[in-house]
């Protein structure tokens, strides 16, 4: 299991409070649900589900079935309490085999601000795994922080956390190289909710709306 699990064990509840208002993430979730509308019981994989808020809750309320994974047992316990209708599994973010209940591919995958905890080689491995478990007509929504760092330690809610980030066009090229067509790449300036005694920093969030490119 990666070292990020213990970090989020320590900041679990604080993270949910600071990140309570994420309009860009909710918009990406709506895009994914719109693209899956009309399918019979669409199943979505939430990579780095955290506390289950807002995405797993949003997807369940929108009629999706959800499997969420995370490296933090504390976050997973929060998620199971917050979204009891979903399935949550403790798993590395680049180890996605065997998660579909019937061993099929997922209709959709979301990964909001989870892959940025990995070094760049593991981000690439995770993208390959996501492509592998995504259905041929599936959709993928990714959230990252804009920047140019590779597993650089930064203070996050009072705790040192490794951050990997990409300039927006580099992120687009990265997704293309790993088999995704980026239909839209949105940039949102975001400021976390203030928390007494805990430092917070504004960020630019990048949201990539993707489909899977398949060989002819």
pLDDT in tens, 4-28: 545 554 555 555 555 556 899 999 9
Q: Which numeric CATH code is attached to 4-212?
A: 3.40.50.150
Average pLDDT over every residue of 172-189: 97
Residue of 29 and 191 predicted with greater confidence: 29
Residue 1 has pLDDT above 50, yes or no: no
Other beta carbons within 10 angstroms of residue 158's beta carbon come to 14
């Amino acid at each position: 299991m990666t070292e990020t699990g213990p970090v989020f064990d320590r900041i679990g509840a604080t993270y949910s409070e600071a990140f309570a208002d994420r309009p860009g993430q909710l918009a990406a979730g709506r895009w994914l649900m719109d693209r899956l509308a009309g399918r019979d019981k669409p199943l979505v994989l939430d990579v780095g589900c955290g506390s289950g808020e807002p995405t797993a809750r949003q997807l369940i309320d929108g009629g999706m079935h959800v499997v969420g994974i995370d490296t933090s047992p504390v976050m997973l316990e929060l998620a199971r309490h917050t979204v009891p209708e979903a399935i949550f599994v403790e798993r590395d973010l680049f180890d996605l085999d065997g998660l579909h209940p019937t061993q099929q591919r997922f209709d959709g995958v979301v990964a909001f601000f989870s892959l940025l905890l990995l070094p760049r080689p593991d981000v690439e491995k995770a993208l390959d795994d996501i492509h592998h478990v995504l259905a041929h007509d599936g959709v993928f929504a990714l959230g990252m922080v804009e920047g140019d760092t590779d597993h650089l330690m930064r203070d996050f809610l009072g705790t040192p956390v490794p951050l990997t980030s990409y300039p927006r066009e580099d992120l687009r090229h990265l997704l293309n190289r790993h088999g995704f067509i980026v239909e839209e790449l949105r940039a949102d300036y975001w400021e976390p909710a203030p928390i007494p005694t805990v430092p917070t920093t504004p960020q630019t969030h990048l949201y990539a709306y993707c489909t899977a490119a398949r060989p002819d």
